[in-house]
A and B are shown apart, each in its own frame.
Chain A
Amino acid sequence: GAGVSQSPSNKVTEKGKDVELRCDPISGHTALYWYRQSLGQGLEFLIYFQGNSAPDKSGLPSDRFSAERTGGSVSTLTIQRTQQEDSAVYLCASSQGGRGNGELFFGEGSRLTVL
């Protein structure tokens, strides 16, 4: 597609349920990022992929969070046993990669509400 696509755009779930958020990056972009943004806050780094590997997982808040990327394209962020504090907008971004490229192309996010 022309831009980064995320789904679902909105997800309401009950505490304790698992959720999966999907990101479809721009075709040909090797780098993929996940960020979390709470209401009125900045972007919290979660994880970064270069190809299918994740050199940096340091931002994942707990072991309930995991992410994978297959075929160097689509990525899935999974949150197990959701808690209310997981409520936020989860943003995915992709870039052409490389050290000199800080131009990330963001999707419109997946808004997660945990009741």
Chain B
Amino acid sequence: GESVGLHLPTLSVQEGDNSIINCAYSNSASDYFIWYKQESGKGPQFIIDIRSNMDKRQGQRVTVLLNKTVKHLSLQIAATQPGDSAVYFCAERSYSSASKIIFGSGTRLSIRP
């Protein structure tokens, strides 16, 4: 079935460095992708989204890159801060599935002081 997965289950980054979280998806019909951040004990929080007609989108300290050729999505966090420690999920939606949003398994980002 449709799935969204991640290359790395955990990522440890030095404070101040940039973080890159990767995600692979399998559904070639996916046309919309979203990144969420989940802190311990809380529900996921929207970070940034990107449509399939784009290959890059920037937000505040975050950039999402989309490579449709290899079905790969990445989230880049600039100047990583302690508050960035969380689990990050990529999610996707296919045009044919209306608003059904499928989440990947997540990557835990930990920050070294």
Number of A-B contacts defined by CB within 8 Å: 68
Given contacts A41-B105, A42-B104, contact A97 B99 (CB under 8 A): yes
Q: Which of A33, A58, A91, A107 contacts B101 (CB 8 A)?
A: A33
A43 (CB) vs chain B CBs: closest residue = B103
A44 (CB) vs chain B CBs: closest residue = B103
Contact between chains at A106 and B44 (CB < 8 Å): yes
Given contacts A42-B89, A42-B105, A104-B46, contact A56 B41 (CB under 8 A): no
B: interface residue count bin: 20 to 34
Q: Which of B42, B49, B98 contacts A103 (CB 8 A)?
A: B49
Q: Does B65 contact A (CB under 8 A)?
A: no
Q: How far is the CA of A42 from the CA of B89 in the complex (A)?
A: 8
Which positions 84-98 of chain A face chain B at CB distance < 8 Å? Answer: 91, 93, 95, 97-98
Q: Which of A4, A42, A107 contacts B103 (CB 8 A)?
A: A42
Given the complex, which residues of A lie within 8 Å of B51, measured CB to CB?
Answer: 100
Q: How far is the CA of A20 from the CA of B101 in the complex (A)?
A: 24
Q: How far is the CA of A102 from the CA of B104 in the complex (A)?
A: 15
Given contacts A102-B49, A102-B93, contact A50 B99 (CB under 8 A): yes
Task: Please list 7 pairs of residues, one from A and one from B, whose beta carbons are closer than 8 Å in the complex, sorted by A's number.
Answer: A42-B104, A55-B98, A55-B99, A91-B43, A97-B99, A106-B43, A108-B41
Q: A100-B51, A107-B43 given. 13 additional CB < 8 A pairs?
A: A35-B103, A41-B106, A42-B105, A43-B44, A43-B89, A43-B103, A45-B100, A100-B32, A102-B91, A103-B34, A103-B46, A104-B46, A108-B41
